[in-house]
Amino acid sequence: MITKDKKFSLLNYMCDIAFNFYETNNLEHLCVRESQLVGNYNTEEQLEWLQRFSDVWDRVEEREVNK
């Protein structure tokens, strides 16, 4: 949740997205990469979501580092 005093952070927003993914799919809350490695998903669609999310995370993280 963003308040007037708190600056928007894309990485924090992405954490919220991942949290919602785990809640919606009744999965254990793990690191997204760890979820891929240990099989913390039930369907191919969930695995694909985790893979796409990881790709986006890498790009956002790189952008943040290079600011």
Biggest alpha carbon–alpha carbon distance for the chain: 40
* Residue 18 reports pLDDT greater than 80: yes
Return the percentage of the chain with pLDDT > 70, whole number. Answer: 93
Residues in the chain: 67
pLDDT in tens, 30-58: 999 999 999 999 999 999 999 999 999 99
Q: What is the pLDDT of residue 59?
A: 95
Distances in whole angstroms, Cα of residue 52 to Cα of each of 1, 8, 47, 59: 24, 22, 9, 11
Which tokens go with 27?
């999965």
In this structure, what are the phi and psi dihedrals at residue 22, rounded to the nearest 5 degrees? -65, -40
**Residue 66 corresponds to which amino acid?**
N
Work out the number of other CB atoms within 10 angstroms of the CB of residue 20. Answer: 10
